[in-house]
Amino acid sequence: MKKSLLLIAIMLFGALSTVNAQKFAGLQKSPTDISYAKVDRNAKPEIKVVYSRPQKKGREIFGNIVKYDKVWRTGADEATEIKLFKDVKMGDKTVKAGTYSLYTIPGAKEWTIILSSDLDSWGAYSYDKGKDVARVTVPISSGDALEVFSIAFKKVDKGYHMVMGWDTTRVEVPFYM
């Protein structure tokens, strides 16, 4: 009798477990990543960027997948988000500490980098120029081909350069503290 009850309990538990099984989505096609600007590995960040990393997959990127002279979300999926932990100077504009969307307008020779107060946007579909906080134009340079869109920071005198690259295109965005 005890064995029968135990068997029934195990079967009931198994059936309930199947009913409550959680379904998870597969891997993101453009995985989310975070890049930090820090004085050293153990320091608190001064700037943090959360972005999705699209892949080249043999495609022509700039001028084709990412159109020239059109606002781009700077990655994939949601608009890239940048958090400034202190006031910074971007170009000739002082930007208050806070969280912003990071948009870009890629061009053949230069990019316009935009910080916007409009957060949690999918792509650049609802981009509103009236919510721009700062803009700076930077030249492009070339490097080895990168399969995946990437953002990194390098320490410079009085701040950081945020380096963005995909395929052979590179841009450096200065942030001064």
Using CB atoms within 10 A of its CB, is residue 83 exposed (0-12), middle (13-18) or buried (19+)?
A: middle
pLDDT digits (tens, 9 = 90+) for 44-70: 999 999 999 999 999 999 999 999 999
Residue 14 located in a structural domain: no
Whole-number pLDDT of residue 8: 52
Q: What's the total number of domains in the chain?
A: 1
Residue 5 located in a structural domain: no
Please check the confidence at residue 173 and state whether its pLDDT lies above 90.
yes
Residue 87 located in a structural domain: yes
Residue 15 located in a structural domain: no
Residue 119 located in a structural domain: yes
Residue 16 located in a structural domain: no
Residue 19 located in a structural domain: no
Residue 96 located in a structural domain: yes
Please check the confidence at residue 12 and state whether its pLDDT lies above 60.
no
Domain extent, residue 161, equals 29-176
